[in-house]
Amino acid sequence: MPEKSGTVLEQKAAGVLVGSAVGDAIGGAVEGWTPEAIRERHGGWVTGIVGPWYDDWRTARPIAPYHKGDGHITDDTLMTHALVEVYDERRAHLDAYAVAESLVPKMLNGTRWIPELEADALLLQRVFLAEKWLVARLHYGHVDPREAGVGNIVNCGAAMYMAPVGVANAGDPEGAYAEALDVAGAHQSSYGREAAGVFAAAVAAAMIPGATPASAVESAIGLAKDGTRRAVEAVAEAADGITDWEQAIPLLRKAIEPYDTVGPDYRNLSMDARRPSRTKAIEELPVALGFVLVSEGDVRRAVLGGTNYGRDADSIASMAGAITGALSGRDGVPEDWATEIAEASKTDLEQPGRVMASVAVELRDADARRWARRNDVLETLTR
């Protein structure tokens, strides 16, 4: 059992980062599958940590020879923790140049424990093609970081690790949105970049004392643009009045379908999949926000909803876990899950939250000094 954090900020920051990791690890075991296939494989709904889909996971899918399940965190958490490390080193607000100068080198240099590979390896060796794009464009291509995301497949690859941006801007959804858009510009474009901003904003809003699932989602809708906004609105409407995640699964899928480009078969993408558009959205964030509402802010229910929804289950459950973790704090994250996942992944899930809480305080102080300087100038200019 981790030591109790001393402040509400520390509790909530820990809730975000541990809740995100828990959702990632549990959802990862069933990523890519339908709710029907999940129930058939596991003899019913998944209710916690389960083993890999394939016993021969090393060879069953050569494109992804990963040991998913058994409490192993995936690339979502690995990239999230890498971004926390960047914040820890820089102790400043981040932008696209921080991705090029600090995050990409972490992907390329120095090994770290990769639970799904059961080995120390480069972070680059675990991430998906859309994340390898960061290295190709920024390290090898020397593209302007602010424009490097253009041309990448449009997916949730940037959004999935934006929770730390929300913590860094705790209580300031607008600031989180703007910072995440800048950071994600190095990685994504169109609705993939937009989702990164909206997710960070939802986390920042959920960090506010007294925040509710509804207030966090309302903040997200208020900042979202184009198809992302309409998708979140549609999912929120579908979730209204529902508190059973099992009942919600088909309803949320139906609500997101008009905005989803992947299509009905997650492993057999439609011809229009993951292309830029002002009318479409990634599936993961709106559905995660739907489960935040359906769960009434409860981490366990939100994670189980996102997991059993299937498709990109690890990212959906991770985003839902982060936002509900912000709402409920570290005490709201099931301790049995957190302990087993930390042990199975050989990863400290608590330290990232402590780091981000301290970063948030330092950024608040720096922002206050900057605003004071501007205020002094404006006072002089308006006399």
Q: How far apart are CA 205 and CA 292, in angstroms?
A: 13
298 known member of a binding site: no
Tell me: is residue 243 an annotated ligand-binding position. Answer: no
Is 318 within any annotated ligand binding site? no
Q: How many CB atoms lie within 10 A of CB 55?
A: 8
345 is in an annotated binding site: no
Q: Is 315 annotated as a binding residue?
A: yes
Was 59 annotated as part of a binding site? no
Residues marked as binding?
Answer: 74-76, 312, 314-315
Residues marked as binding for Mg(2+)?
Answer: 74-76, 312, 314-315
